[in-house]
Amino acid sequence: MADPDLVARLSAALVASAGGYLRNPVRRELVTCAVCATPVAGFRLCYQCQRRRGRTGLADATGFLAYAVAGQQSGYVMQGYKARPPVPEHRAIVTLLVLLGLARHAPCVKNAGASGEAPVPVTHWATVPSLPAQPGEHPLHAIVSRLAPGCEVTLAAADEVDYPRDLDAGHFRAPPLPAGAHALLVDDTWARGGHAQSAVLALRAAGAARVSVLVAARWINADFGGNAAFIRGLADRDYDPAICPWTGAACPPRGPGAPS
């Protein structure tokens, strides 16, 4: 997968099949939330991320590969890929999206900390299990395990959870991690963020020094606030797998003066 020709061919395949309706997340201060890339009207953070601000142990970095809009093709794909039975076409698109995201941008996360911090390579990976626990392998796990960097740290979901969308470290368990571990946590959809951030807290409780979250799709409800206008404003930008999920910029950086 590190083969550049293969990455280029798979990128072209993703753009050909889904580039017309998938949209890269926008990372722009006061336009989208600094944590979760949802549209905001002149704020640094969205309501949910603002509410959790100051809580220690949340994700050090968050990256998003695409927006998924409820009731539109991008939303159907994120639901269909894990439907029982799955929609094969949707499974193929999410597989390409996630594998290309890992191949092209998992290495970038080592630089995604606060500016001035030393780069920290990923040592472990995990996917977020369903809540409550479901039998069988989660389709996201089957995709991510093919290409994720480092060793797997297996998260287990609690058997009984009253409010699965709430932020609660008790929703998941992880075996102990070695000192200095940097875990890359992969989730398929971020709606309010409680699901992924609870898994981050569980990894933190297991000893992770650093946790970065890579999400396939930031879920958007078009009937909320200015979301519909925001999504319409992206209509002329076909999906570009070169856009970095951590920064929203071209990756590797392009243009004069950009580091190679």
What does the per-residue mask of binding to Zn ion show for 52-91, with x meaning CB under 5 A? ----------------------------------------
Structure-token match 């998003």, residue found: 64
Q: Which of 10, 18, 26, 46 binds Zn ion (CB under 5 A)?
A: 46
Q: Which stretch binds Zn ion (CB under 5 A): 71-79, 81-89, 182-190, 251-259?
A: 251-259
Q: Which stretch binds Zn ion (CB under 5 A): 20-28, 49-57, 95-103, 156-164?
A: 49-57
Shortest distance, position 48 Cβ to Zn ion, whole Å: 6
Q: Which stretch binds Zn ion (CB under 5 A): 17-25, 48-56, 132-140, 162-170?
A: 48-56
Task: Establish if 49 lies at the interface with Zn ion (CB under 5 A).
Answer: yes
User: How, if at all, do strands 156-157 and 172-173 pair?
Assistant: antiparallel
Q: Which of 14, 18, 26, 33 binds Zn ion (CB under 5 A)?
A: 33
Residue 203 and residue 126: Cα distance in Å, rounded? 9
Omega into 252 within 30° of 0, i.e. cis? yes
Name beta bridge partners: 172: 157
Shortest distance, position 85 Cβ to Zn ion, whole Å: 33
Q: Between 69 and 157, name the residue whose CB sits nearer to Zn ion.
A: 69
CA distances from 232 to 69, 101, 113, 172, 226 (A): 11, 24, 31, 37, 10
Q: Which of 181, 186, 199, 251 binds Zn ion (CB under 5 A)?
A: 251
Report the Cα–Cα distance between both ends of the chain, in Å, rounded: 21
Residue 102 and residue 96: Cα distance in Å, rounded? 10
Q: Between 131 and 196, name the residue whose CB sits nearer to Zn ion.
A: 196
Q: Which stretch binds Zn ion (CB under 5 A): 30-38, 113-121, 163-171, 195-203?
A: 30-38
Q: Which stretch binds Zn ion (CB under 5 A): 44-52, 79-87, 145-153, 222-230?
A: 44-52
Task: Establish if 108 lies at the interface with Zn ion (CB under 5 A).
Answer: yes
Q: Between 114 and 179, name the residue whose CB sits nearer to Zn ion.
A: 114
Structure-token match 């597989």, residue found: 95
Task: Establish if 105 lies at the interface with Zn ion (CB under 5 A).
Answer: yes
Binding site for Zn ion (CB under 5 A): 33, 35-36, 46, 49, 105, 108, 244, 251
